[in-house]
């Protein structure tokens, strides 16, 4: 039954509206006690049973509160992501629930699903092992417009997204240390890997010296960083007793593409008489008299030639090259490749 009016002397001094609301709430509470809920005050939930039906009130432990459901395509604007990480060591076809596929060992293939069935899905394929990972597609679908596979030939990753027709590369990077140290990033315009940094480190090429040329104290060193090559002789490369003026043949991958004669800038080249040890002359601009790089093919220079074998050489010379990165490195490593 409803509560009676509060006696005089006990009524709140607040606004009439506050009193009226409080009274209505008390009456509604009394109605619940009497089994006659006042739905105008407490709402229809007061008369609903708990349970799993469409008109029931959900309890906190209802299984539907934790039910994982796949959103309907077009119902959300966010990119759909699945499992955060899966590690693989053998051939694998990505599923609609994968996201990061980490290839931790071996050489194998990762196959992307049909782009039409997973529109909007992103995959990150990562090579953290020592093998080679090939990313291939379903039927004739493309990656960045090219109907070809993408190869992770070193440690690195590539991130792709389905546009419903094919695959677009969002970003990618590969690091390779099989021939010096090289870094590749994905070239979206040409749909290929582009080398953005390369360093062979210093290579001791004393084993490449020809015709009796020898060194004193320190061996001749050769290094390529990106497209720049440096030949360094720390102290005295001498041809006394040599059978030819050809000192060394520059290995493939280090040969200059400059065809003109006498335009190499030199850094501190010192020519000295090998018999007396007295200094000869120095040059900081052009190749000194008696120095040349022969042109056996008429277009490239691949031999260091010093006509006077009674001269000792010390210094360094630099040149550029347009040759592809060498497939093997000459001589032996001299120290380690700098990391900075």
In 3D space, the residue among 84, 94, 96, 100 whose CA is nearest the CA of residue 121 turns out to be 96
Residue range 36-59, pLDDT digits in tens: 555 555 566 666 777 777 777 777
In 3D space, the residue among 30, 36, 26, 119 whose CA is nearest the CA of residue 72 turns out to be 119
Find the mean pLDDT for residues 116-136.
96
> Over 80: is that where the pLDDT of 16 sits?
no
Find the mean pLDDT for residues 133-138.
95
Contact 209, 295 (CB under 8 A): no
Task: Classify burial at 264, counting beta carbons within 10 Å of its beta carbon; exposed 0-12, middle 13-18, buried 19 or more.
Answer: buried
pLDDT recorded at residue 48:
74
User: What is residue 21's three-state secondary structure?
Assistant: helix
Residue range 144-189, pLDDT digits in tens: 999 999 999 999 999 999 999 999 999 999 999 999 999 999 999 9
**Two tokens at 335?**
């120290």
Q: How confident is the model at residue 249 (pLDDT cuts 50, 70, 90)?
A: confident
Strands in 137-191 per DSSP E: 150-152, 155-162, 167-176, 181-187
Residue range 280-339, pLDDT digits in tens: 433 333 344 445 444 444 445 677 776 566 556 667 777 888 899 999 999 999 999 988
């Amino acid at each position: 039954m409803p509560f009676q009016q509060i006696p005089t002397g006990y009524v709140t001094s607040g606004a009439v509206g506050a009193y009226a609301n409080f009274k209505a709430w008390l009456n509604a509470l009394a109605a619940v006690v009497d089994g006659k809920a006042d739905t105008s005050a407490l709402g229809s939930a007061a008369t609903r049973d708990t349970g799993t039906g469409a008109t029931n009130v959900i309890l906190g432990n209802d299984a539907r509160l934790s039910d994982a459901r796949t959103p309907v395509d077009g119902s959300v604007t966010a990119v759909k992501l699945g499992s955060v990480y899966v590690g693989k060591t053998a051939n694998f076809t990505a599923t609609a629930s994968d996201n990061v596929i980490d290839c931790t060992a071996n050489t194998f293939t990762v196959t992307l699903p049909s782009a039409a069935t997973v529109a909007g899905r992103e995959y990150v394929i990562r090579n953290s092992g020592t093998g080679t990972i090939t990313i291939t597609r379903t039927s004739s679908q493309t990656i960045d417009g090219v109907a070809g596979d993408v190869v992770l030939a070193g440690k690195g990753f590539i991130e792709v997204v389905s546009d419903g027709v094919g695959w677009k590369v969002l970003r990618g990077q590969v690091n390779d240390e099989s021939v010096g140290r090289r870094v590749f990033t994905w070239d979206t315009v040409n749909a290929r890997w582009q080398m953005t940094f390369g360093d062979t480190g210093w290579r001791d090429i004393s084993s490449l010296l020809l015709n009796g040329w020898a060194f004193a104290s320190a061996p001749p060193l050769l290094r390529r960083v990106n497209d720049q090559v440096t030949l360094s002789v720390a102290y005295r490369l001498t041809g006394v007793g040599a059978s030819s003026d050809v000192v060394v043949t520059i290995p493939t991958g280090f040969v200059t593409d400059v065809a003109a004669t006498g335009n190499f800038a030199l850094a501190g080249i010192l020519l000295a008489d090998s018999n007396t040890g007295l200094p000869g002359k120095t040059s900081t601009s052009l190749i000194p008299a008696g120095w040349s790089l022969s042109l056996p093919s008429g277009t490239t220079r691949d031999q260091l030639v010093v006509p006077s074998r009674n001269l000792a050489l010390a210094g360094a010379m630099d040149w550029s090259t347009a040759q592809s990165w060498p497939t093997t490195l000459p001589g032996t490593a001299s120290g380690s490749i700098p990391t900075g």
